Amino acid sequence: MKSYIYLALAMSAFVLNSGCKKDSTDPTHEYHAHIHSPNTDAKHVDDVLDIEVEFEDHAGGTVHHIQVRIYNKSTLVEVYRMPTDAHVHATSGSYTFEDTFDLSVANGITGHSDWVLEAKVWGETDGEAEEIETVEFHVHP
């Protein structure tokens, strides 16, 4: 009878202890943002900017959150931020973002200015395994 009690206590301790550990099979995120477009070539006011960014987790995990933004290099004024909901939850480990943006005065673009397209990817919580890639380009009148 005593051995059954000890066996039950040992099993209970094992079950309780194993339930508190983080699953060691969870992949470590290896996020990357590959900016395919735009490139660093000079642009002109009223050009249409094609945007294509491939977000990946090279460890095969879920791509949870992404963001693409364009801002003025000197003033830091942001003229573009997408998607409106950063949570994409791509369980395939890859997510491709595509859009276009008019480099127009109406959108805050002026000639003789330098701009940065920033692509950011992160995990479930803000800043988790965050990776940022950028491309800079100049806009002529």
Q: Using one digit for the tens of pLDDT, what is the confidence trace for 88-113?
A: 999 999 999 999 999 999 999 999 99
- Does the structure show a pLDDT above 80 at 15? no
Query: Higher confidence at residue 2 or residue 55?
Result: 55
What's this model's pTM, rounded to 2 decimal places? 0.80
SS3 16: helix
> Domain locations in the chain?
31-140
Pairwise CA distance, residues 28 & 113, whole Å: 39
Query: Do 31 and 130 contact (CB within 8 A), yes or no?
Result: yes
Token readout for 66 is 């992404």
Pairwise CA distance, residues 116 & 99, whole Å: 16
Give 28's pLDDT tier (boundaries 50, 70, 90): confident
- Does the structure show a pLDDT above 70 at 33? yes
Provide CATH code, domain 31-140.
2.60.40.10
Which candidate, 106, 54, 56, places its Cα nearest to that of 80? 106
Task: Provide the pLDDT for residue 8.
Answer: 52
Task: Provide the pLDDT for residue 19.
Answer: 44
Residues in the chain, overall count: 141
Query: Do 97 and 83 contact (CB within 8 A), yes or no?
Result: yes
Which candidate, 69, 121, 61, 130, places its Cα nearest to that of 99? 69
Q: Please provide the average confidence, as pLDDT, over all residues in the chain.
A: 88
Query: What's the average model confidence in pLDDT over 50-70?
Result: 97
Query: Higher confidence at residue 57 or residue 27?
Result: 57
